[in-house]
Structure 1
Amino acid sequence: MAEATTSMVDLLAAYPGARRALFSRYHIGGCSSCAYRDDETLAEVCERNEIGVSEVIAHVLQSHEVDKGMLISPTEVKAMIDDGKSFVFMDTRTREEHEAVAISGSEFMTQERQQELFGTSKEDDVIVLYDHTGGRVLDTCAWFQGHGLKGTRGMTGGIDAWSNEVDKKIPRYRLEMD
């Protein structure tokens, strides 16, 4: 639970979309003039920005509920594949990661493909995005939804969860920045 004494690093771990929520509403954390340290508490950040802690907590929690609606589990994606459902399955990792290991049937997301989807997809077309561990997919999912593609979902846990929960033949790996 988010509390005034929660460190920013713990807040972001518990609520992955909190960085986006804080920046979009309060312009906190998006640039050097409004940045915060990982070890700062939520209360310290709010005090410096002259914003009430309870207001910020309420916004982070509300945003988190919205974010949960954008997520889909690896087993749900696998069921869609098994059921023959039509959807776009896109890998948002780097080209090197995609070329090293990818989920069968997924495609690498290029800027050209992204723009094509923005221009040709219908609002409710299903697009499933995945990354390495699920840490960044919410932001990309929100970007797609913000461009009108409301059927976009982000796969929880990324390809790492897919390897654990769906296909153990997919090699797991660790990045230095994870």
Structure 2
Amino acid sequence: ELFAQYDLIVDGTDNFATRYLVNDACVLLGKPYVWGSIYRFDGQASVFWAEYGPCYRCLYPEPPPPGMVPSCAEGGVLGVLCASIGSIQVTEAIKLLAGIGDPLLGRLIIYDALEMTYRQVKIRKDPNCAVCGDNPTVTELIDYEAFCGTISEAAAEAARDSTISVVQLKAMLDARGAGTRDFVLIDVREEVEWEIVQIPGAILIPKGQFLDGSALASLPTDKQIVLYCKVGGRSAEALAVVQGAGFTDAIHVGGGINAWVAQIELDKPSY
């Protein structure tokens, strides 16, 4: 309802949940989306318009795992980048409204302030895109915080130096199978999710049992704890609880079961 009143949307937000929300709303309404992003000494800008080219999801189909990308407060950002990237966005907005020039449709501008260079990368429309592809699965706005695995500050802090990839987990499982390493792999999803798909060798303890403390007594003190969920958000929350209870070497799997199915066991179902 808000976007429907305007001819185009200029996005200056700083979180993934809002970016996916803005993109999907623009696709569903057929509006052009002028996007910009900054971090540390770098910036990016583009124009997404599904009727004429790719959308944001074509460039970034999935958000990064929770805890993998530091915030601007943690990583820092060169303040003047707001003006550098913002001016590109305003220029693109004026071009679109006036119908002049060649907008950044299908092109991504990458700015490196330290080297004072601009690079251009071509972006193609993804026929399998979840929102603008040939057979879209996102046909209305969804819960974007759940989609992006939005987590608390405590969970983000716990995950920052305690996140492994599914490739690393696979190597750990191989080592456990060979008898050279031992740990406990715990799935913190719900039972109905567990029944759809799970990682071999895992046990199920839903996140709620960590949050209420009932799961802690059953955890072994002589083995490392490895947690995973669907995308990483719930396992990061459970990780904060586990580490706070004294299991300081506990870790979790970034990307969760979704990343496992996408990279390791491609024949398994996803949901």
TM interval, shorter chain, is: 0.5 to 0.7
Equivalent position amino acid for 2:200 in 1: S
Structure 1 residues 91 and 65, CA gap change in structure 2 (3 angstroms): closer
Spell out, residue by residue over 1:67-116, the C-alpha distance to the aligned partner (whole angstroms, 9 max, x if none): 32111111111101112221100100001111221111101015455421
* 2:204 paired residue number: 108
- The 8 Å contact of residues 103 and 170 in structure 1, kept in 2 or not, is answered as no
Please give the alpha-carbon distance, in whole angstroms, between the structure 2 residues aligned to 1:127 and 1:73.
15
Structure 1 residues 65 and 72, CA gap change in structure 2 (3 angstroms): same
Spell out, residue by residue over 1:47-78, the C-alpha distance to the aligned partner (whole angstroms, 9 max, x if none): xxxxxxxxxxxxx7xx8576321111111111
Q: Which runs of 5+ in 1 are unaligned?
A: 18-37, 39-59, 174-178
TM-score between the two structures when normalised by the length of structure 1: 0.58
- The 8 Å contact of residues 194 and 204 in structure 2, kept in 1 or not, is answered as yes
> Which range is displaced more, 101-110 or 145-154?
101-110
**Between structures 1 and 2, the one with greater strand share:** 2
* 2:193 paired residue number: 97
Equivalent position amino acid for 1:86 in 2: D
**Between structures 1 and 2, the one with greater helix share:** 1
* 1:164 paired residue number: 262
* 2:14 counterpart (3, 6, 15): 6
- The 8 Å contact of residues 129 and 153 in structure 1, kept in 2 or not, is answered as yes
Structure 1 residues 147 and 101, CA gap change in structure 2 (3 angstroms): same
TM-score between the two structures when normalised by the length of structure 2: 0.39
* 1:69 paired residue number: 161
Aligned residues: 123
* 2:238 paired residue number: 140
* 1:87 paired residue number: 183
Q: Which runs of 5+ in 2 are unaligned?
A: 1-11, 20-62, 68-143, 145-152
* 2:252 counterpart (147, 154, 158): 154
- The 8 Å contact of residues 15 and 64 in structure 1, kept in 2 or not, is answered as no
Higher RCO (C-alpha under 8 Å, 6+ residues apart): 1
Q: Secondary structure in 2 aligned to 1:83?
A: helix
What is the RMSD of the two structures over their aligned residues, measured on CA atoms? 3.1
Equivalent position amino acid for 1:71 in 2: T
Q: Secondary structure in 2 aligned to 1:136?
A: helix
Q: Percent identity?
A: 32
